[in-house]
Amino acid sequence: RESGVAPARARRVSPPTRRFARFAPFPTTPKRTSPRATSASDAADDGTRKKADPSSSSSSRAASTSADRSDSVRVESLTVAQLKAVLRSRGARVGGNKSELVSRVAAGGAVTADALVSSAGATSRLEPRAAAARRRSSSHNSKKPPPVMRWEVTDPPLPPRAPPLASDVPALRVVSWNVNGIRALLQKDPDVLDRVAREENADVFVLQETKIQAKQVDEIDARVLAEYPHRIWNCSTARLGYSGTALFSREAPLNAWTDPFVATEKRFVATEKRSSRQTSQTSDDEKLELELKKNECAFKHEGRVVVAEFPRVFVVGAYVPNSGAELARLGARTNAWDPSAARYLRALEAKKPVVYCGDLNVAARDVDVWGNHRANAKSAGFTKEEREAFAKHYVGLGGGSENDENVLDE
d(CA 336, CA 267): 9
Determine the distance from the C-alpha atom of residue 45 to the mean position of all C-alpha atoms in its chain, rounded to a whole number. Answer: 68
Beta strand ranges found along 102-209 (DSSP E): 111-112, 174-178, 204-208
Contact 215, 241 (CB under 8 A): no
Report whether the peptide linkage leading into residue 157 is cis, meaning its omega lies within 30 degrees of zero: no
Residue 137's H or E segment, with its range, is helix 113-142
C-alpha torsion angle, residues 92, 96, 98, 102 (rounded to 10): -30
Q: Which of 246, 104, 91, 97 is nearest to 182 (CA)?
A: 246
- The verdict on whether residue 338 carries a ligand-binding annotation is no
How far is Cα 306 from Cα 295, in angstroms, rounded to an integer? Answer: 21
Q: According to the annotation, is 361 in a ligand binding site? A: yes
Out of 71, 203, 359, 404, the active site residue is: 359
* φ/ψ of residue 88, rounded to 5: -65, -35
Q: 225: closest CA among 192, 258, 199, 257?
A: 192
Q: Which of 71, 228, 319, 344 is catalytic?
A: 319
359 is in an annotated binding site: yes
Cis peptide bond upstream of 311, omega within 30 = no
> What Rg do the C-alpha atoms of the chain give, in angstroms?
40
256 bridge partner residues: 308
Contact between 250 and 221 (Cβ < 8 Å): no
Residue 178 is labelled as binding a ligand: yes
Residue 359 a catalytic site member: yes
**What residues act catalytically?**
319, 359
Binding-site members are 178, 209, 359, 361
Binding residues for Mg(2+): 178, 209, 359, 361
